[in-house]
Amino acid sequence: MSFTEIDKIYDPEKIEERIYQFWLDANVFHGKPNPDKKPYSIVIPPPNVTDRLHMGHAYNNTLQDILIRFKKMLGFETMWMPGTDHAGIATQTVVERDLKQNENKTRHDFGREKFVERVWEWKEKHGAIIIDQLKKLGCACDWERERFTMDEGLSEAVQDVFIKLYERGLIYKGQRIVNWDPASATALADDEVEHKEVQGKLYHIKYYFTDSDEFLVVATTRPETLLGDSGIAIAPDDAEKQHLIGKKVIIPFVNREVAIFADEHVDKEFGSGFVKATPAHDPNDFEMGERHNLDQLVVMDKDGCILKYCVLVNGSEHTEELPIPDFLAGVERFEARKRIVAELRKQGDIVKIEEHVHSIGHSYRSKVPIEPYLSEQWFVKMKPLAEKALEAVHSGKVKLYPEGRYDKTYEHWMNNIRDWCISRQLWWGHRIPAWYNAAGEIKVSATDPSTADEKWTQDPDVLDTWFSSQLWPFSTLGWPEETESLKYFYPTNTLVTGADIIFFWVARMIMAGLEFREEIPFDNVYFNGIVRDENGHKMSKSLGNGIDPLEMIEKYSADAVRYTLLSLSSEGQDIFLGKKDFEIGRNFTNKLWNSFRFLGMHLNEEIIANSNLDDVVSYKKAGKLDLADEWILSRYTTTIRRVTKGFEEFKFHDAVNALHAFFWREYCDWYLELSKPRLYGQDEELRRASITVALFTLKGILKLLHPLIPFITEEIWQHIGLSEKDCIMQVEWPTIDAQFENKNIEADADFLQSLINAVRNIRGEMNVPPKNPASLLISGADDHVAELVKTYLPYFNQLANVDNIQANHELKRPELSAMAVVNKMEVFVPLSGLIDIDKEKQRLEKERTRLDKQLIGLSRKLENNDFLDRAPEQVIEREKQKLQDWRLTLDKITENLEQLSN
């Protein structure tokens, strides 16, 4: 394609799909063991197969993509492992909903085997959608290695880990209080519970002493569980109540006697100081029950409804059933609460009801309040595993970024770790490899141990989704087989994820890696922020404030989405995002395209072939580079350092800021403008030198920008970079060349830019027509400055329409001139002949009068208490800023009027 055929407007819709296919055809994303290169590997946080790409995915995967492309260009053998998670509860829920809506059937209509087949069918049909969407974002994943947490190899790894942990005494089955999700009918781990502050009530209920009209008052937030009470506790340090220890009271409705006892869990200041103990329905009560050998009475079923009988549990055996009143049997738990309170009111046994804010656990998936529930489940003993994982972070083997922000959170989790409930009452997932015979014995085995003489039945439960996810860094590389990929790419280098799963996933991967590979799974963990809406609210379907990244990609381009997200981010902080913000990325990519088009007018194949480092050095040695050339090369070198440091230290925002400032302000706004006199001049050698530096620098900019905006940089590279490599991702990352760094050159260029800006500001403020050439006087200039402005008068002519400069140690200010100060030197621009002085005075006086009136009105508004009380805080702040800006403008108008009067 000739450069005259370059599209005037960059059209990503035409380009991005073609470029991505070009990368796939060139196989540039695939990594393989290479003894000549250092490995750099990342495992993707596997999205659920039910997911569609949201802004959080877009941001997180853009960060990973930046690192992979950056490291590949640095010469590493890179591998970004993609894949998806089977997402037990989420996927089963979606499929069940689909069956109900489309076929009016439940999973029980199919039976387990047929239902699981239907889930696999759904996964094959819908599970790859998010993978295709990641490709649209430009993700350089090693698609040949794509894995799924329930594929054959990973399922084998899961079984192997379960069996090994069981054999090591770290997995056990036991009766414990679990977090029960009645909506999903399954147990949840502690970290799958979201605690929310809820406005509830504290009920003060009479419990009568045995054979007496006297009573004590128990305060509880959950009257529905009193049916399962097996004791009343007081604080050991509550002197007023110690005489009651051993006495018995009657539980309302079930008329069961229970004893009063003392336990350190009780706070004598809370409520009445009497606490009902319900060991089968509260984790703290369960611990008290263990200490005091209390009965464990289950009063609800797994749907959260009251049973017909309380079930007295002893170990794993149900030993006794105690009747529950008919008006409660089968009633949903919160309705049962209402009925119990109503009945107690009738009997006069409610002393008082207080409003009470307290924390209630909710299921992270179904969002319903969880029910603490005594149930037989499988658990992992976590403390032995946590000790090594805690040390890995303490010692710095695993570094958490942003530095210092999450170490204490991690430490808190690990020091307060509890055994992990890993069994789930679902059909979709990794089936627990445990088997039972008729005698109730357990065998843990990957295969059915049944014989002709003895039948064994597999445990119906599946494993928590996070059990398989914790193995992701090494199971995806072939473990338990000792594959070449595992030996080469493990441990991985960087994990990029959200801080909300620091314990769900990050800590467990560290524990699993140390336990089964005796190595950490990754060196660095970068926790990215959350993408919120422009008002700071978390994006969600229920709020309707989400922004579809695919829609934004279609409207603005993938590069624009990526660039916008990174430009609005800062280290580990949340992003506040509105739809119009994507204009930031679109404007930047358009600016890049336009700079390429501008250079394209001066390019041919010979120039492109001779625009490399050696060519620039040759022109430098021959003295053919001017100040602007040497300045841009020096600034380019500084930018390489800043961008490299930003990416290496996970300070992505610093890297983006450095790139934006260098490309937009320094390269486009200054360098290309300063180069125009030579590019359009008659001296062919100077023209070639200038275009060579401009093209060399643009190619460097493309390399630095490529990890961030890969599509447009590849497209431009195909026009100007093929003399180096066919694909920009395979190009060597720019290196710092000390011969280009020159602080003196930068100082001179910065000074000239400040002078030009001063003249531009004066022209703008004084309303000088652009066509009228100005003169410039610099007082306080030494010989170096005088020579500098004389030599580079063309810069002033090009950018500020200045055709005459005088610079001396001491110059008097001309009459009717505007003044500025640059580097302690007075700068004068004579206005006589440039503008109509009287007319400009009248304009400024009129503007001053207008602003005076506006300031009075706005000041009164901000003194109005009614406005201050009703207006949102951001509106008030906006008005205050407007007032400040108007005052500054008024000061400037007054200053300009004074200059015109002198």
Quote the pLDDT of residue 813: 84
**Average per-residue pLDDT for the chain:** 92
Sign of CA dihedral 398, 404, 406, 407: positive
Kindly indicate the confidence band of residue 899, based on its pLDDT and cuts at 50, 70 and 90. Answer: confident
Instruction: Between 334 and 722, name the one with better pLDDT.
Output: 334
pLDDT at 757 over 90: yes
Query: Average of pLDDT values for 875-896?
Result: 86
Q: How far apart are CA 321 and CA 297, in angstroms?
A: 9
Q: In 3-state terms, what secondary structure has residue 124? A: helix
Highest-pLDDT range among 159-173, 613-627, 712-726, 842-856: 159-173
Name which of 545-554, 653-662, 819-828 the model is least confident about: 819-828
Query: Average of pLDDT values for 424-446?
Result: 95
> Is 435:448 a contact under the CB 8 Å cutoff?
yes
pLDDT at 634 over 80: yes
Q: How far apart are CA 586 and CA 555, in angstroms?
A: 9
pLDDT at 533 over 70: yes
pLDDT, tens digit, for every residue of 69-112? 999 999 999 999 999 999 988 899 899 999 999 999 999 999 99
pLDDT, tens digit, for every residue of 539-560? 876 678 889 999 999 999 999 9
Quote the pLDDT of residue 718: 93
Interstrand relation of 306-314 and 317-323 (parallel, antiparallel or unpaired): antiparallel
Count the neighbouring beta carbons within 10 Å of the beta carbon of residue 873: 8
Query: Average of pLDDT values for 126-132?
Result: 87
Q: How far apart are CA 168 and CA 165, in angstroms?
A: 5
The order of strands in the sheet holding 256-262 is 248-251, 256-262, 231-234, 275-277
3-state secondary structure string, 259-287?
EEEECCCCCCCCCCCCEEECCCCCHHHHH
Q: How far apart are CA 249 and CA 436, in angstroms?
A: 42
Q: How far apart are CA 714 and CA 710, in angstroms?
A: 6
Quote the pLDDT of residue 832: 84
**What secondary structure does DSSP assign to 193-241, as a single string?**
EEEEEEEEEEEEEEEEBTTSS-EEEEEES-GGGGGG--EEEE-TT-GGG
Quote the pLDDT of residue 837: 80
Quote the pLDDT of residue 186: 85
Q: How far apart are CA 250 and CA 212, in angstroms?
A: 10
> Is 216:207 a contact under the CB 8 Å cutoff?
yes
Quote the pLDDT of residue 176: 85
E-state strands within 130-192: 147-148, 171-181, 186-188
pLDDT, tens digit, for every residue of 418-434? 999 999 999 999 999 99
Cα–Cα nearest to 90, from 153, 47, 44, 61: 47
Kindly indicate the confidence band of residue 537, based on its pLDDT and cuts at 50, 70 and 90. Answer: confident
Entry pTM: 0.86
pLDDT at 353 over 50: yes
Check whether the bond before 480 is cis (ω within 30° of 0): yes
Q: How far apart are CA 718 and CA 757, in angstroms?
A: 37
Q: How far apart are CA 73 and CA 724, in angstroms?
A: 13
Kindly indicate the confidence band of residue 497, based on its pLDDT and cuts at 50, 70 and 90. Answer: very high
Check whether the bond before 402 is cis (ω within 30° of 0): yes
Q: How far apart are CA 16 and CA 18, in angstroms?
A: 5
Quote the pLDDT of residue 902: 65
Kindly indicate the confidence band of residue 766, based on its pLDDT and cuts at 50, 70 and 90. Answer: confident
Quote the pLDDT of residue 1: 45
Of the chain, the percentage scoring pLDDT greater than 70 comes to: 98
pLDDT at 316 over 80: no
**What secondary structure does DSSP assign to 803-858, as a single string?**
EEEEEES--PPPSSEEEEEETTEEEEEE-BTTB-HHHHHHHHHHHHHHHHHHHHHH
Quote the pLDDT of residue 541: 66
Query: Average of pLDDT values for 259-279?
Result: 92
> Is 559:710 a contact under the CB 8 Å cutoff?
yes
Distances (CA, A) of 48 to 149, 195, 486, 649: 10, 23, 24, 29
pLDDT at 314 over 70: no
pLDDT, tens digit, for every residue of 401-421? 999 999 999 999 999 999 999
Query: Average of pLDDT values for 862-891?
Result: 87
> Is 341:223 a contact under the CB 8 Å cutoff?
yes
Q: How far apart are CA 705 and CA 720, in angstroms?
A: 15
Quote the pLDDT of residue 205: 95
Count the neighbouring beta carbons within 10 Å of the beta carbon of residue 697: 25
3-state secondary structure string, 341-387?
HHHHHHHCCEEEEEEEEEEEEEECCCCCECEEEEEEEEEECCHHHHH
pLDDT, tens digit, for every residue of 170-224? 999 998 888 999 988 888 877 678 889 999 999 999 999 998 999 999 999 999 9
| Tokens at 21, concatenated | 């296919």
Q: How far apart are CA 645 and CA 653, in angstroms?
A: 11
Cα–Cα nearest to 765, from 835, 825, 670, 851: 835
Q: In 3-state terms, what secondary structure has residue 462? A: strand
Query: Average of pLDDT values for 262-272?
Result: 90
